Amino acid sequence: MGDQRVAVVSGGSRGIGKAIAVALAARGCAVAVGFQGAASAAAQVVETITASGGRAIPVQADVADEDAVAAMFDTVEKSFGGVDVVVNSAGRMSLSPIADLDLDDLDALHRTNIRGAFVMAREAARRVRAGGAIVTLSTSVVGLQFPNYGAYAASKGAVEAMTLVLARELRGRDITVNAVAPGPTATELFLDGKDEATVERLAKQPPLERLGTPEDIAEVVAFLAGPAGRWVNGQVVRANGGII
């Protein structure tokens, strides 16, 4: 097990993060399933992975808390010997027209989506071993400009910019840094508050005429994190079924 790659997946207890944790484990990574409050959900993901013969542990941290994130990485290094892959899938979404935006919601988004992404990226840049990969999660809404997504798209636009800069800053380290930007994906976070007609309309927008699944996104992340994706670096991959 000494040469086993080790992955840290924040937001790994549900939705896209859960699918990413399972996909990386299926490819042979030992996985740290990061969570903030959903301890039982994270434990279930760990159980799913270990039941299939994989190695996984739950690790708790608020991604915006630099001390908690450093402690999380310490735990992973002590448990598995190092860190090779870091995926920041923790995120928050608030929908509102910009004119009506509650600035408290904006601050909460900023704390999780921007500060959290920076804290995770900073720790990853300090710890990931040569040959490793850092993957952030953005959103295709940065390019699609759906109404009501102003605050969320702004936060993810910041993530994309930071990701591309970090790829250049890690020159000489043999570490790839990319962002994956899902389109409409059937997760609890996405489906919450949307009626059936809205979901149906969004599902018809891509030429493939369906919503994405968490597994669709996880496969892209796993590709970027694995040996086949080594020549993709400093990119934003829009995994959205061709939606325009």
Q: At 172, which CATH number?
A: 3.40.50.720
Q: Which domain holds residue 132?
A: 6-184+214-239
Is residue 194 situated within a structural domain? no
CA 43 vs CA 14, 91, 138: distances in Å: 11, 19, 26
Phi, psi of 226 (to 5 degrees): -105, 180
pTM of the model: 0.96
CA dist 15 and 31 (Å) reads 16
Q: What is the pLDDT of residue 2?
A: 55
Is residue 33 situated within a structural domain? yes
The band of 1, judged by pLDDT with boundaries at 50, 70 and 90, is very low
Checking if the pLDDT of 188 tops 90, the result is no
Is residue 157 situated within a structural domain? yes
The helix or strand, by DSSP H or E, that contains position 134, with its residue range, turns out to be strand 133-137
The band of 244, judged by pLDDT with boundaries at 50, 70 and 90, is confident
The band of 43, judged by pLDDT with boundaries at 50, 70 and 90, is very high
| AA letter at 210 | R
75 versus 193: the higher-pLDDT residue is: 75
Known active-site residue 149: no
CA dist 222 and 226 (Å) reads 6
Active-site choice (152, 162, 216, 229): 152
Q: Which residue has the tokens 């909460």?
A: 108
Is residue 190 situated within a structural domain? no
What contacts 192, CB < 8 A, 6 or more positions away? Answer: none
CB burial of 37-47 (b: ≥16 within 10 Å; e: otherwise) equals: ebeebbebbbe
Q: What percent of the chain has pLDDT over 70?
A: 99
Domain total for the chain?
1
Is residue 165 situated within a structural domain? yes
- In whole angstroms, what separates CA 241 from the centre of its chain? 18
Is residue 15 situated within a structural domain? yes
CA dist 142 and 153 (Å) reads 5
Is residue 19 situated within a structural domain? yes
Is residue 21 situated within a structural domain? yes
